[in-house]
Amino acid sequence: MLREELTKLNIVEINRALQNKQFSVKEITESYLQAIDHSNLNAFISVNKQALKMAEELDQNIGEAKNNVLYGIPLAVKDIILVKDLKATAASQMLKNYIAPYTATVVERLEKEGMLVIGKTNCDEFAMGASNEHSAFGPVLNPHDQTRVSGGSSGGSAVAVAASLAPAALGSDTGGSIRQPAAFCGIVGLKPSYGRISRFGSIAMASSLDQIGPMAKSVEDVAYLLKAMAGVDKKDATSSHKAVPNYPKLIKESDPRQLVIGVPKEYFSDQIDPEIKKAIEEKIKFLENNDFQIKEVSLPSAKYALAVYYLLMPAEVSSNLARFDGLLYGLADQENLALDDWYKTVRSGGFSAEVKRRIMLGTYILSAGYYDAYYKQAQKVRTLIKEDFKKVFADVDVLLTPVTPTPAFKLGEKLDDPLQMYLADIFTVGANVAGICGLSLPIAKTKNNLPIGLQLLANSFEEEKILSLGYFLENNQ
Ligand code: GLN
């Protein structure tokens, strides 16, 4: 059965089968669409009604699959990333009927390779959350245990891949939203360095922290996606001119033993779940036994990363979300209302409590009396965190850490306690604050069969290092 086969295949393997004409692009697209339709995990907000027609067109040139691994591969896209003529709701009431007038650069590039967008995935509203429970379209369920969260905010994208509803997905990561759900769902997710990938066409949450990134079943798949997505874009002034390496080739040809690995002691406190700690320590031992050079290192300012994030992020959120005033975007089409009622409706009906909390916090942090004490101070500490990483990366190539302090938690467990929810990102936010890159890959399972992830961090624009070590770990279990 095709469906059963697809649950086992990654992008590279599907490509091989497409080349051998084992099945067509139309057949796999149909199979994924059916699986989405039958799934109760709530990973998708909408599907692309044109997908089958696009698949048929791609089948006309199937010879292309020989030169191009991504040709004919279906792609799931987080619903804060725009795809022309498809809805982009950001999982918010505010944008529930918004149709994207253009396509994000990253999606455009992947479409040029021959990928086809199969649907838009559920997420936390405007990417604010760590469990995918803050979505106007309901929570996403974890396929490994449906009483648990998928992680967030890119929970729908992580579940799409983990449950084989799509072989590849795009997420966005402002404080951990690709790496954390990837870890909770047992897939591979990459947060690229700030500037590696264009953000044009992504609904902004916190512009100095946001990055779009790939999610898939293997490190090699992620390397192919990154290569196609990366590089300068004249529509995003923060995208870098740096040349894009041939990541898939590099990871297969380089010797990861050349890389010095650092283990930052601040990431191994007693608050980590003992099963996660044990799995990571075993990986470190495994690397030592395989002649890797491992060093203990220190990032003394790391403990401030979460506090800095929860000052700078809401400040930027309050500014970015000011555009949703009900006139340009939002619920403006409320006709037949008196002016006062119209204001009340368009200004209050769209956002959930979590989004409002962040806008209010951000407005407060940026207000005249508090700007110096909060915003400016947080910027200073951001510099210290960046310098910490810079110092450490003069000594080691890659940092190895946990992704999350716990495995996927129960639905509802942290919903009434935002501070507990914010702690889910304690190990991931540092990379966003410093602008460096990070990879999350599955390394083990708990005794309850929940995935455990490992995080590899490298300096800005050194994605090939984490991908190459990740590739080694994935192929040498
Ligand atoms: N969970 C974090 C938050 O709630 C990170 C979100 C993200 O990376 N988009 O802000």
Mean pLDDT of the chain: 96
Does residue 54 lie within any of the structural domains?
yes
C-beta of 80 in contact with ligand 1 (< 6 A): no
Is the CB–ligand 1 distance for residue 362 below 6 Å? no
pLDDT in tens, 346-372: 777 789 999 999 999 999 999 999 999
Q: For ligand 1, what atom is nearest to the CA of residue 154?
A: 9
Residue 200: give the domain boundaries.
Answer: 2-251
Kindly indicate the confidence band of residue 325, based on its pLDDT and cuts at 50, 70 and 90: confident
Distance from residue 8's CA to the centre of ligand 1 (Å): 30
Residue 425 within any structural domain of the chain: no
The tokens describing 375, both together, are 């915003």
CA of 400 to the centre of ligand 1 (A): 21
* Residue at 304 is within a domain: no
Q: pLDDT tens digits, residue range 167-181?
A: 999 999 999 999 999
For residue 451, being part of any structural domain is answered with no
Name the residue of 78, 125, 128, 212 whose CB sits within 8 Å of the most ligand 1 atoms, as the mutation to test its pocket: 128
Ligand 1: which of 135, 313, 359, 420 to mutate, most ligand atoms within 8 Å of CB? 313
Closest C-alpha residue for ligand 1 atom 10 = 128
Whichever domain contains 32, its CATH number is 3.90.1300.10
Could you tell me what percent of the chain has a pLDDT over 70?
Answer: 99
- Give the count of domains, the chain: 1
Q: Does any domain span residue 140? A: yes
245 lines ligand 1 (CB under 6 A): no
| pLDDT at position 40 | 98
Q: Is residue 374 part of a domain?
A: no
Structure tokens at 295: 């060093």
Distance 357 CA to ligand 1 centre (A): 14
CA of 309 to the centre of ligand 1 (A): 9
At 93-106, the pLDDT tens digits run 999 989 999 999 99
Query: 128 in ligand 1 pocket by Cβ < 6 Å?
Result: yes
Domain membership of residue 379 (yes or no) is no
Q: Is the CB of 210 under 6 A from ligand 1?
A: no
Give pLDDT, residue 327: 77
